């Protein structure tokens, strides 16, 4: 068994925490795991790509090759598009549709296209997946910083590689108990959003 996940976003969105939760949960389940990050601009607001590879055999590269990822979690739409070619043809994506332009776009070094243009290009790839506004869901729960938790919950609704309860418990073990109720609500919201789309 092998499973490759990539999480694309920008600094400050919490994708590194999400990748660590999944990686550590997989280790607890007895898998060989490699988890690595590649970063653009080092400061908050730069591009961040997390690779999580797990298998029941030795893993030789820490980086998911082109066309090999089973799941792409796009915390930000342009970053998701930038790395969508890592997804295999039978893989699935979950893309948060709320744009967060990188520091370079904010400095006018990069041009940030419209979200409609980005999502049209994603659709043109002919891959399977879900578009959700995880940022809006987090805001409705009272804290935009819960976006990554919404995405983690959504991930467990499309992949059974790790039990949802184990992923949630690993997350809760890494955050202050005073935030547990909010994290549980956000995690379940992510699962609910995907399950509603699956049934629809």
* Chain mean pLDDT for the chain: 93
**How much is the pLDDT for 38?**
84
Strands 32-39 and 87-96: unpaired
126: left (phi over 0), alpha (psi -120 to 50) or beta: left
Residue 186 domain boundaries: 2-199
In total, how many domains does the chain have?
Answer: 1
Which token pair is 86?
A: 């890592």
CB 48 within 8 A of CB 40: yes
Tens of pLDDT, residue by residue over 122-150, are 999 999 999 999 999 999 999 999 999 99
- Percent of the chain residues topping a pLDDT of 90: 86
Tens of pLDDT, residue by residue over 12-62, are 899 999 999 999 999 999 999 999 998 765 456 688 999 999 999 999 999
pTM of the model: 0.93
**What average pLDDT score do residues 85-107 get?**
86
| Domain at 11, CATH number | 3.40.920.10
């Amino acid at each position: 068994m092998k499973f490759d996940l990539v999480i694309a976003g920008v600094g400050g969105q919490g994708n590194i925490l999400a990748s660590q939760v999944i990686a550590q949960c997989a280790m607890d389940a007895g898998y060989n795991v490699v988890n690595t990050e590649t970063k653009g601009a080092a400061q908050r607001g730069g591009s961040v790509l997390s690779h999580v590879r797990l298998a029941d055999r030795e893993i030789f590269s820490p980086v998911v090759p082109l066309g090999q990822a089973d799941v792409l979690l796009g915390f930000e739409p342009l970053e998701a598009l930038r790395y969508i070619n890592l997804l295999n043809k039978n893989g699935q994506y979950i893309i948060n549709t709320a744009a967060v332009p990188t520091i370079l776009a904010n400095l006018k070094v990069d041009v940030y296209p419209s979200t409609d243009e980005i999502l049209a290009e994603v659709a043109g790839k002919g891959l399977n997946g879900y578009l959700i506004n995880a940022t809006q869901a987090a805001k409705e729960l009272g804290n935009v910083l819960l976006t990554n938790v919404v995405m983690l919950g959504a991930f467990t609704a499309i992949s059974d590689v790790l039990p949802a309860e184990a992923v949630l418990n690993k997350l809760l073990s890494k955050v202050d108990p005073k935030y547990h109720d909010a994290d549980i609500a956000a995690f379940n919201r992510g699962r609910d959003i995907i399950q509603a789309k699956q049934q629809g």
